[in-house]
Structure 1
Amino acid sequence: MSINVQACQQLITALRSQNVSLVAVSKIKPVSDIKALYDLGQRDFGENYVQELVDKQSQLPGDIRWHFIGHLQSNKAKYIAPFVHLIHGVDSFNLLKEINKQALKNNRVIDCLLQVHVAQEETKFGLDETELNDIMAHVAVLKNVQIKGLMGMASFSNDEVLVRNEFRQLKKLFEQLGQPGITNIKPEILSMGMSGDYTMAIEEGSTMVRVGSLLFGARA
């Protein structure tokens, strides 16, 4: 087992006291490590790869809330649609339509976060402000998805001013999300912050952080 039980318990307790949700990023980590964290009371786990998520879901307790935090391909949405708790990285209306289609087949409403590109790196996925507004203008027709908020990743940088400004940009967009009369937009979650910058993200308004290495140890 690679997790540090005491450190995990301290982090879980600290975030809970701040009303910040913790998604434990468990990609490429063994089922035994996830179960150890589950036994400490953690229930939200995030996976990047569809097949790995499906495999782990079948082996672990049914009350785990599984988050898909990777870049989801439309043709793979059907595999996680029966059980996924929250899809974090929706970055196109076409993907949202496919999630809606698969949710309807499973008689579910699937909660989603729209991923916004605020970082300097071009390699990161996400919507710009115009694309975000376009999705918000058309999402009401999709009855089996619910937009619960936004997700974004800041630049991988030691420049604290840059990182904070990116978090603030995302927070500003989040505050503009609510649209009267549209029932499938309920902006409750602002998911920003990872192992290296989650404390800054919380200070700038994050309500959900995705932490991996601090819980499970560094990846090989």
Structure 2
Amino acid sequence: MHIKENIQRFKNILNDESVRLIAVSKTHPPELVLKAYEEGVKDFGENKVQEMVEKFEALPKDIRWHMIGHLQRNKVKYIASFVHMIHSVESERLLQEIEKQGQKAGRVIDCLLQVHIAREESKFGLSEAELLELLQGPTLASMRYVRICGLMGMATNTDNGDVIRQEFRQLKALFEHIKTLPPQPNVEMEQLSMGMSSDYTIALEEGSTIVRVGSAIFGQR
């Protein structure tokens, strides 16, 4: 199956303006990204800063680049001037660095807070308690160059759909709970980023507004 057909299939599946498709282009060459772009995809996800910077420089400037992988604090400065959204904010210290680099770049950077919902310890993310503490704490309230747009989560890597569904449902419930908290000027709970090539159908059923799909568009690496 070709990229054009894969993208059309997703456009049919996601026939809803409230759900955004992010084509995960990590490890794929710029030529393939350009093919997807020419089919109307504008949002691309990368998990390595150097690769994102190289593609940003080589490809059309109206592409919206999403950092979906683990982000080291010392790498934020390289993407602060152009990144559309950082999905993988999993600590207050990282958020402070994004604020600092956003101020230097003179722009507000949209972020999602990554929540640890999987059974695997290797996956990154805030616990529920850490998330609520950060959202209601003074550090975030004082920030001017960061906007929290929602949450991101990665389910356990398993064939058990019930486990995946339970984890996504848990994140959706947390997302809805946060909406009931006292409002913060730089927090807008609008986006729930969950679901990849292997589990996006369950994610959509459980209320995802962003799916991050790589192999189902570009094929296996």
Superposition TM-score tier, normalisation by shorter sequence: over 0.9
Normalising by structure 1, we get a TM-score of 0.96
Q: Is the CA contact 1:12–1:42 (under 8 Å) kept in the aligned structure 2?
A: no
Counterpart check, 1:92 vs 2:91: yes
Tell me what 1:140 maps to.
141
- Out of 197, 201, 204, which is 1:199 matched to? 201
In 1, Cα distance between equivalents of 2:170 and 2:113 = 14
Amino acid at match of 1:39: E
In 1, Cα distance between equivalents of 2:160 and 2:5 = 30
Deviations 1:7-28 (A, max 9, x none): 2222134214363100000001
Amino acid at match of 1:109: V
In 2, Cα distance between equivalents of 1:72 and 1:211 = 19
Amino acid at match of 2:197: S
RMSD: 1.2
Tell me what 1:128 maps to.
127
Amino acid at match of 2:206: E
In 2, Cα distance between equivalents of 1:181 and 1:70 = 28
Tell me what 2:155 maps to.
154
Amino acid at match of 1:111: D
- Report 1:1-220 matches (<5 A): 3-17=2-16, 19-138=18-137, 139-178=140-179, 179-219=181-221
State the SS of the aligned residue for 1:17: coil
Deviation for aligned residue 1:181: 4.0
List 4+ stretches of structure 1 deviating above 6 A: none
Percent pairwise identity: 54
State the SS of the aligned residue for 2:211: strand
Deviation for aligned residue 1:4: 2.9
Structure 1, unmatched stretches of 5+, are none
Pair 51,3 (structure 1): closer, same or farther in 2 beyond 3 Å: farther
Deviation for aligned residue 1:137: 1.5
Amino acid at match of 2:149: K
Normalising by structure 2, we get a TM-score of 0.95
In 2, Cα distance between equivalents of 1:85 and 1:184 = 16
State the SS of the aligned residue for 2:189: strand
